[in-house]
Structures are given as C-alpha cells and as structure tokens.
Chains A and B, each alone.
Chain A
Amino acid sequence: MLCHTSVTGVCIAPFRALRLPSRTYVGYAAGRDARDWGKVRTMASVDLGNGYHIDFDDAQKFITALQDQVTRLQHSLDKVTNAKVDPPGDDDYSGSYVAYGVNPMVQQHTDWNRKKQQELKDLIQKVTTAVNTYKQTEHDNTMKA
C-alpha cells in the first residue's frame, strides 16, 4: 500500500495512487498493458507531490478521507487534553509525574497534532483547488466546443 500521509499511525493511502512519469495516464487498470497509455482516452489527475497522482474522479473520496483524518486528530486532541487526565496515584511522586512528565508530553502532542491538522488542511485545499480548476477548464472547453 502506498502511504502518502501517516498520522497517528494510520496510513492514508491515496485512492489509486500511482507513481507515474506523466501527469496524464489512461486505463492503467489491472490487466491493461502499459503500452495502452494514452490510447484509450486521456484522464487528468491531480499531482499530490512526491510523485503521487490521483484521478480527478477519486479526488472527492480523497478529500473526504483527509477530512476524516483531521477530525480524528481533533477528537484525539480533546481526549488527550481534557480534565480527566489524572495522576496515577495520590502520592507526591504521582503529582510530580503529572507536573513534569505528562504535561510536557501533552504539550508536545498538542503541537504535533495541530501541525498535522494544518498539513492535512493544506493538502485538502490543494486538491480542492486543483479539482475546481480542472472543472472550470472542462467547462470552458465544453463551451468552446
């Protein structure tokens, strides 16, 4: 499985993500020879960077998967930082454990979590913009024809 983004150990695999030399490819489905590229019809794809592309047809599924991942991170952040985080015991050591152990860890998690959220949001924005541009171009071409 190709793993474009990994957050909290969960791998987000872009739907039908392929490492391809070209931005356009056609019918690269199972059983179809690579020599058929470009012969059936040209299907545009979104360039996700790092050599990954997805079909425009799959872009909305990909956006939804990214949104779900942002949501998971947000829920996780609430869970980790809610007031139910208790020291393991009532003794002094447990108090210190929270003050000097858990707290910095929670801070680090918070910063990491929010950075990941923003990365995913940026990717959502990138894919959304590409899809909208593609749709507009398709629309313009249809009008010209």
Chain B
Amino acid sequence: MRLTSTLATGVALATLLLGGCSTSNPGTADSTTTAPARATSSVAAVANPLDVAKIQKDPCGALSAAQLAPFMGEIRNATPDLTNGDFTCNWDPSDVNKLSVSVNVYPTIGGPAGVYSAKTGYNYFEKIDSISGYPAVHAATGTNAPRNGLCRTIVAVSDKAAFDVFAQNSTSSDPHYATMCTVTDQLVQQVITNLTTQH
C-alpha cells in the first residue's frame, strides 16, 4: 500500500515535471520539448557537479571584461548585488546602445528540477541541449521574447545549485538583438570554463 502510494507520488511528480518543460511563446505553436524518457533523465543527478561558492561570494568574478568585450564593448560598471538573498553581478556598457549582462547565482534552487520549476515565471521557457554537459534552459519575458533583445540562460551545475546569464538590449540595431540567447549560451559556457579552471 505504502509502495503503491510512493509510486503514485512518483508518477505524479514525473507528470508535473513533464508539464514544466514546454515552450509557451505567444505567436508560436506550444511545443512540448521533452519526451518521457528525457524527463526522467532531466532530473537525474548532475554529472561533474561544480561548486558555485566562489561566484556566490564574488559574482563579478564569474566573467572577465575580456570575455564580455566581444558583446558589450567597454564596460562602464561591474556592480555586485548581494542584498535580499541575491548573488548577482550587473555589467553595464559604456555605450548604452550595447547590451548589458547580469549573472545570478542560485546556490539552493534545487538543481535541474528547481530550474524547470521556474517555468511559471516566464512566458517563454525552453529546455535546450546541455551546455558543457550541464542541463540548461532559455527563459524570457515580454512581447515576442526572446527575439526582441533579451534572453536568460539558466544552467544547473549540481543537484542543488544553478546560475544564469541574462543579456538585454532595447536597441534593435544591436547585431545580437534577435539572437540574444546565443550570447547568453556563450557566456554561460565561459562561466563554466572559469569555474572549472579556477579549481
């Protein structure tokens, strides 16, 4: 009886997780991006977990000016925000017409499952191929997101922790305006490389 109950709970949980991985973007077909087998693997333990303690303490150390320069040129400010449980760094460009970048660290979000459950906060949420072996999603809000100059790539780097890179620009002449998720994907990859090599 107890086993049945546990199994039923497991099935309900798997169903919930499946429902948590669809794209809901106004103007486009709502496509569920996960199959049952993949959903099971999506909550599997993260291989080669990374320790985010360093960028939690110093979020602005997650990326260097040289790594950001190809996307945002010269940096005007790098501002950490460690208030109200946030572990954030905001990089602002000297030229306001270039994109700005933020990194947020989530030390206790709950790994991949926690990342997928964040879907309810976005009108665009899509599970993507893993980045450097770590499960990742694209998330965005606003009209025509993410093709209108903003995208957030969230990546789970352990069974507990995740981080994201958020890039935004309201200037439509920015060459990255319609493909902002490629910027955030590349920067996520850089952060992972930095975390790996800093050990």
Contacts and interface: CB of A to CB of B under 8 A. Distances in A.
Interface of A: 67, 70-71, 74-75, 77-79, 81-85, 87, 95, 98-99, 102-103, 106-107, 110-111, 114-115, 117-118, 120-121, 124
Which 4 A-B residue pairs are closest in the complex by CB-CB distance?
A110-B142, A78-B102, A83-B118, A117-B170
Nearest to B164: A83
21 contacts: A74-B92, A78-B168, A79-B88, A81-B140, A81-B141, A82-B86, A82-B88, A82-B166, A83-B106, A83-B115, A85-B118, A95-B120, A99-B120, A103-B121, A103-B141, A106-B122, A110-B150, A114-B149, A118-B170, A121-B96, A124-B96
Interface stretch (B39-47, B60-68, B77-85, B190-198): B77-85
B141 A83 contact: no
Interface of B: 76-77, 79, 81, 85-86, 88, 90, 92, 96-97, 100, 102, 104, 106, 109, 115, 118, 120-123, 139-143, 145, 148-150, 152, 154, 162, 164, 166, 168, 170-171
Contact of A67 (B76, B81, B148, B171): B76
Contacts of A84: 85-86, 104, 106, 109
A25 to B, nearest CB: 29
A98 B120 contact: yes
A81 B152 contact: yes
A100 B123 CA distance: 11
